[in-house]
Chains A and B, each alone.
Chain A
Amino acid sequence: MSTEFMVEPDLNFIKDMQRAGGDSLKKCFQCATCSVVCKLTPDDKPFPRKEMIWAQWGQKDKLMSDPDVWLCHQCNDCTAKCPRGAKPGDVLAAVRNAAFKNYAFPSFMGTWLSRPAYLPLVLGIPALILLFMINLWPTIYNILPKGVPMFEEFKHAGWGNFPAGPIVYKNFYPELGIDITFMTFAALAIISLIVGIGRFWKAMVANHGTVGLMGAPIPNLIKALPTILKHNRFQSCGENKERYYGHLGVFYGFVGLFVTTMIVATAYWFFGVHTPYKMSSPVKFIANISAAALFIGSIIILVKRFTNTKSANSYYDWALVTLVFGLAVTGWGAQFARLADMKSIAYQVYFLHLLFIAYLFLYLPFSKMAHLAYRTVAMVFARQAQRDLVSPDEVLKIG
């Protein structure tokens, strides 16, 4: 970082960051109050001061390869104390948003997810895919060999063609169809994410300076995991204490839902167990508890976002909070409608729920949701580069 370099400010990148929640970034006058109040920054070359001037000067390469941007958990203590209204917390969030766009693979997806103008397209594509598939299942049924129980669900799939009896969503969208559709979405997302994260890692390695890297990524990830799982970074926050509970709820809500999804899929594929599960089933219990965590967590975050006037809320933020809230509400709504036998709305709510999940899967690498990967990777790298999450005795060991 101390070697001389040619500054070639990227004006468009500055404007990108300003649009992505960092409109105040030019206001900084480098007093470093932010770095002084920050409880998370390392002592050496602390953030967010240096990131602020890089942002002002459009130093895209430096910001895109900077793990510190991700060490920030946006508690906004810095924003509250900033004498110039430069909102360093928001600026770092904008830099992170810019990173989603920058590392997006394919890159047009980054652009689509960066602006509300693309929202109709972004929602329209999974909606059309789902609608198309719903209509496709009966057609596929006709060409498939008959008598295989797994395929029988295809017969009545779609709108208004349901057999008599209680509401069963697999009659609308077959279990196998769900797996085919969403595993494809997940596979695409995982490929994109691997490519993006790979680029990010390479950039960090290339620009991290002269300090030696300590060990390999996986052991470092294992060492970093307790910090992530315990959420202690959120706890050192002064300005926005409630967000600890919000993020914790959402995080473990997703963990719980991931676990239940895995159980249901395993049961289906290996033991032939079909949905719907009884309400008394422990799987159902975990799923509902997780949905509650998701719901409460997203409410806390929503309330904070609506009431906090000190920091900005970017499109990325609203998209994510709405998604989480929507997932919880439509998930519960679909379950309630099914149990209450509200045939007139149940399938519509369920469709919406599927749409939210499709959004979550398809756009995970390009939306703010991707922070789960980028932040984790950056934290692992920071540990590997002996910058953060590393105890003093470990540093001594590699000398």
Chain B
Amino acid sequence: MERKVGVYICTGCGIGEALDVEKLSNMGPSLGATVKTHEFLCGEQGLQLIKGDIDGEGVNTVVIAACSPRVNYEEFDFPNTVVERVNLREHVAWSHTPNDEDTQRIASDYIKMGTAKAKKIELPEPHIEEVTRSVLVIGGGVSGMTAALEVARAGYEAVIVEKEAQLGGWMGKMKKRLPTQYPYAKLEDPGVDAKVAEINSNPNIKVYTSATVEQIAGQPGMFDVTINANGGTVETRVGSVVLATGWKPYDASKLESYGYGVYPNVVTNVAMEEMAKNGGINRPSDGKAAKNVVFIQCAGQRDADHLPYCSSVCCATSLKQATYVRESDPNALVYIIYKDMRTPGQYELFYKSAQDDPGIFLTKGNITSITEDEANNLILEVEDTLLGGPIKIKADMVVLATGMVPTTAEEAILNLKYRQGPGLPDLDLFNGFADSNFICFPYETRRTGIYSAGCVKMPQTIAESIDDATGAALKAIQVVEAVSRGMAVHPRAGDMTYPEFFLQRCTQCKRCTEECPFGTLDEDEKGTPQPNPNRCRRCGICMGACPERLISFKNYSVDILSSAVKIIDVPGEEEGKPMVVAFVCENDAYPAFDMAGINRIQYDPNVRMIPVRCLGSCNTVWIADALSKGVDGILMIGCKYGDDYQCHFAKGSELANYRMGKVQETLNRLVLESDRVQLLQLSIDEYDKIPSIIGEFMEKLQEIGPNPYKGF
């Protein structure tokens, strides 16, 4: 494509007052572009100026030197035109001394860098294949049934795969469910029959019971699923997957210290619910009605030797079961011994109403011993109570509030035919739950097109599972619609670029297939990557990984960013001030710099920022480019990594850190101080720390001294 580049400088919002715009306008010949200015570029006249040049002058590449690309992106969107944004407002005029020589230099560098990039950016050509729009729902409990119904009501087809012989899951095994309506005091019918009937009468839902998923191959929009149902197998193609396989009760046989398995009248909350549903609450030892019942909360939970986490629903469940006992006999006495009463949200009101029952006794406490008398009554000793000392309780029956273990803790369930394995990766971070740290997007997993809902993701009640499954159903629909248009889903929703592989140069090093956080790439026998564009989140981590630099996007490549690095005007040694290039993650760090600008926080002007999709997409060659250019230091600013990672692509900043370790080794070998390269973790709310973190780095560079390659 013949490039005709137009650079448009906006002088509004304080840019014109802070910078010598006339001087910037004179850069045209050196940029190889026409440069125009306007006082209100995003206004009608300003946009008309640009559109006029596109239509009349044949400008096909537009550089907008104005505000942050995080604003006015709809205004500055011109069809079939390459648009590159240069942030003169937040990152220059608002965050540096007005009409200062250094400030002016940032502006001219940014315009040069933006123009250099724009010249190499190509228009995206979306990858579009024929897609199937149906949704596979694994698990036929409350979450799975809800997800399938929501999918079907939205006009899509759903396929339910349920392991048991009938739908319903745990919901079908309950006597009552927790209240869902004000005043949150009255237990409700679980309503499983109505739900199952609704599913059976919906022509958009196909149900396989006594069935499991044997394999899922392919990618969003074209998952090929092998279902094992009643001994035979069924093949079907779906567009996306909702994982709603729920939980299993914690193995109570490990709770001998509470007398489980030792004394017949110690039971679990699951057994209690079953008893209450099927007849009555009677002691296993002699079948007599249990009238003095002790509930022990957190039995094998929040305990380093058992489940380390809180299952969130057990407190409300014990209160529910306590009311079963109380309703069975007005003279019954129910004790609940807890670590903390945890009844989140409106369940606090249910807690209050149950607490108001004169026959329900609550105290914090630790069980120190459980023994049995000759009549199989249980004697509990409890210390650290609210009653001012240790107490003893005599009970007919003890109920252990055991916790939830996600089904994904033990099995892959999805059985993905992916190069990176059959299950969801790194679930040990979430104690086996199919959860993720995806910012603000709870349904996401690290396998695109697969969304988790209900208790497999985190312990939750029926009401919460219904909400959760509804959200997951919407995401499952969204992904098939997105891939049908060749668009990415979260977090780069709508992005139509995708990684292209120049495989002739591939050395089968497998770094891309290994490091992709989303398992996008499969491999052939030789180890050559086999892309699955619909699985891709467009983070560019593969691009950062590739030593051959053969992976690129139409608007984002090693070469495009290299050209921006190389065009920076690095002053000579005589200036005495270090020059820094910062690769800044677009997801949190770049907005933090915008926030700094909005708050008029000033920081050192000798930093040139280059936005990146993710730190993980940073190819080490950019560092070499910068250092050989004479840049004194390099900052990589991205999201927090580790167990509580905040990286929007899960592994990007962690991988970048790992790679930087390697770079630093190389620098040491070259007798170039490794401290010149530093990776920083910054979140959007830490914008106020920017001046100090940059200041400290600058001081360190002053100590190290100038880059010896300066001036070469």
Question: Chain A interface (Cβ within 8 Å of chain B)?
Answer: 1-9, 11, 14-15, 18, 26-27, 29-30, 45, 50, 53-54, 56-59, 84
- Determine which of B331, B357, B363, B391 lies in contact with A6 in the assembled complex, contact meaning CB atoms within 8 Å: B391
Bound-state CA distance A4–B341 (Å) is 24
- B335's nearest neighbour on chain A, judged by CB, is A7
Q: Bits for B379-411, please: 1 = Cβ < 8 Å to A, else 0.
A: 001000011111111100000000000000000
Q: Are B391 and A1 in contact (CB under 8 A)?
A: no
Q: Are B358 and A18 in contact (CB under 8 A)?
A: yes
B355 near A: Cβ within 8 Å?
yes
Q: Are A27 and B392 in contact (CB under 8 A)?
A: no
Q: Are B381 and A4 in contact (CB under 8 A)?
A: yes
| B352 proximity list for chain A (CB < 8 A) | 27, 84
**A57: shortest Cβ distance to chain B, in Å?**
5
Q: Are A15 and B358 in contact (CB under 8 A)?
A: yes
Q: Are A54 and B387 in contact (CB under 8 A)?
A: yes
Q: Are B388 and A45 in contact (CB under 8 A)?
A: yes
Q: Are A11 and B355 in contact (CB under 8 A)?
A: no
- Determine which of A9, A15, A18, A30 lies in contact with B386 in the assembled complex, contact meaning CB atoms within 8 Å: A30
B359 near A: Cβ within 8 Å?
yes
**A35: shortest Cβ distance to chain B, in Å?**
12
| A84 proximity list for chain B (CB < 8 A) | 352
Q: A5-B391, A11-B359, A15-B358 are in contact. List 11 more A-B contacts (CB 8 A).
A: A2-B388, A4-B392, A7-B387, A11-B333, A14-B358, A18-B358, A26-B356, A27-B355, A50-B387, A58-B361, A59-B387
Bound-state CA distance A235–B361 (Å) is 36
Bound-state CA distance A138–B390 (Å) is 68
Interface of B is mostly: mixed
Quick one: given A9-B333, A26-B355, A27-B355, are A3 and B392 in contact (CB under 8 Å)?
no
Find the residue from A5, A18, A59, A84 having the highest chain B CB count within 10 A.
Answer: A5
- A56's nearest neighbour on chain B, judged by CB, is B361
Q: Which of B144-180 contact A (CB under 8 A)?
A: none
| B357 proximity list for chain A (CB < 8 A) | 26
26 contacts between A and B (CB under 8 A): A1-B389, A2-B388, A2-B390, A4-B389, A4-B391, A5-B389, A5-B392, A6-B391, A6-B394, A7-B393, A8-B394, A11-B331, A11-B358, A11-B359, A14-B358, A15-B358, A26-B355, A26-B358, A29-B355, A45-B388, A53-B387, A53-B388, A54-B387, A57-B363, A57-B387, A59-B387
| B391 proximity list for chain A (CB < 8 A) | 4-7
**B249: shortest Cβ distance to chain A, in Å?**
28
Number of B residues whose C-beta is below 8 Å from A? 24
| A59 proximity list for chain B (CB < 8 A) | 387
**A303: shortest Cβ distance to chain B, in Å?**
31
Bound-state CA distance A29–B364 (Å) is 10
Q: Are B356 and A57 in contact (CB under 8 A)?
A: no
| B386 proximity list for chain A (CB < 8 A) | 30, 53
Q: Are A1 and B388 in contact (CB under 8 A)?
A: yes
**A18: shortest Cβ distance to chain B, in Å?**
7
- Determine which of B358, B360, B364, B392 lies in contact with A7 in the assembled complex, contact meaning CB atoms within 8 Å: B392
- A2's nearest neighbour on chain B, judged by CB, is B389
Q: Bits for B355-379, please: 1 = Cβ < 8 Å to A, else 0.
A: 1111111111000000000000000
- A8's nearest neighbour on chain B, judged by CB, is B394
- A28's nearest neighbour on chain B, judged by CB, is B355
- Determine which of B361, B364, B381 lies in contact with A9 in the assembled complex, contact meaning CB atoms within 8 Å: B361
Bound-state CA distance A191–B362 (Å) is 41
Bound-state CA distance A1–B386 (Å) is 12
Question: Chain B interface (Cβ within 8 Å of chain A)?
Answer: 331, 333, 341, 352, 355-364, 381, 386-394
Bound-state CA distance A9–B395 (Å) is 12
The 3 closest A-B pairs by CB, nearest first: A2-B389, A4-B390, A6-B392
| A5 proximity list for chain B (CB < 8 A) | 389, 391-392
| B389 proximity list for chain A (CB < 8 A) | 1-5
- A25's nearest neighbour on chain B, judged by CB, is B358
**A289: shortest Cβ distance to chain B, in Å?**
47
| A57 proximity list for chain B (CB < 8 A) | 361, 363, 387
- B358's nearest neighbour on chain A, judged by CB, is A14
- B362's nearest neighbour on chain A, judged by CB, is A56
Bound-state CA distance A3–B359 (Å) is 24
| A9 proximity list for chain B (CB < 8 A) | 333, 359, 361
Find the residue from A3, A4, A8, A18 having the highest chain B CB count within 10 A.
Answer: A4
| A1 proximity list for chain B (CB < 8 A) | 388-389
- B390's nearest neighbour on chain A, judged by CB, is A4
Find the residue from A7, A14, A15 having the highest chain B CB count within 10 A.
Answer: A7
Bound-state CA distance A211–B362 (Å) is 30
Bound-state CA distance A315–B27 (Å) is 92
| A15 proximity list for chain B (CB < 8 A) | 358
**A26: shortest Cβ distance to chain B, in Å?**
5
Bound-state CA distance A108–B585 (Å) is 81
- B360's nearest neighbour on chain A, judged by CB, is A26
Q: Are A27 and B356 in contact (CB under 8 A)?
A: yes
- B368's nearest neighbour on chain A, judged by CB, is A4
Find the residue from B341, B358, B364 having the highest chain A CB count within 10 A.
Answer: B358
Bound-state CA distance A2–B385 (Å) is 11
| A30 proximity list for chain B (CB < 8 A) | 364, 386
**A209: shortest Cβ distance to chain B, in Å?**
11
| B364 proximity list for chain A (CB < 8 A) | 30
Bound-state CA distance A18–B357 (Å) is 11
**A68: shortest Cβ distance to chain B, in Å?**
12
**B333: shortest Cβ distance to chain A, in Å?**
6
| B388 proximity list for chain A (CB < 8 A) | 1-2, 45, 50, 53
- B330's nearest neighbour on chain A, judged by CB, is A11
- A53's nearest neighbour on chain B, judged by CB, is B386
**A47: shortest Cβ distance to chain B, in Å?**
11
Bound-state CA distance A7–B386 (Å) is 12
Bound-state CA distance A54–B362 (Å) is 11
| B331 proximity list for chain A (CB < 8 A) | 11
**B676: shortest Cβ distance to chain A, in Å?**
55
- Determine which of A45, A53, A58 lies in contact with B363 in the assembled complex, contact meaning CB atoms within 8 Å: A53
Bound-state CA distance A84–B362 (Å) is 15
- A13's nearest neighbour on chain B, judged by CB, is B358
Bound-state CA distance A8–B391 (Å) is 10
| A56 proximity list for chain B (CB < 8 A) | 361-362
Quick one: given A26-B355, A53-B363, are A6 and B393 in contact (CB under 8 Å)?
yes
Bound-state CA distance A24–B458 (Å) is 36
**A8: shortest Cβ distance to chain B, in Å?**
8
Bound-state CA distance A2–B393 (Å) is 16
| A29 proximity list for chain B (CB < 8 A) | 341, 355
| A50 proximity list for chain B (CB < 8 A) | 387-388
Bound-state CA distance A26–B360 (Å) is 9
Bound-state CA distance A8–B356 (Å) is 18
**B380: shortest Cβ distance to chain A, in Å?**
10
Bound-state CA distance A26–B394 (Å) is 22
- B389's nearest neighbour on chain A, judged by CB, is A2
Bound-state CA distance A8–B387 (Å) is 13
Bound-state CA distance A53–B361 (Å) is 9
| A26 proximity list for chain B (CB < 8 A) | 355-358, 360
| A8 proximity list for chain B (CB < 8 A) | 394
Bound-state CA distance A15–B391 (Å) is 22
Bound-state CA distance A8–B357 (Å) is 16
**A87: shortest Cβ distance to chain B, in Å?**
13
Find the residue from B341, B363, B381 having the highest chain A CB count within 10 A.
Answer: B363
Bound-state CA distance A7–B333 (Å) is 11
**B336: shortest Cβ distance to chain A, in Å?**
12
| B355 proximity list for chain A (CB < 8 A) | 26-27, 29
**A69: shortest Cβ distance to chain B, in Å?**
15
- A84's nearest neighbour on chain B, judged by CB, is B352
- A32's nearest neighbour on chain B, judged by CB, is B386
Bound-state CA distance A120–B364 (Å) is 46
- A57's nearest neighbour on chain B, judged by CB, is B361
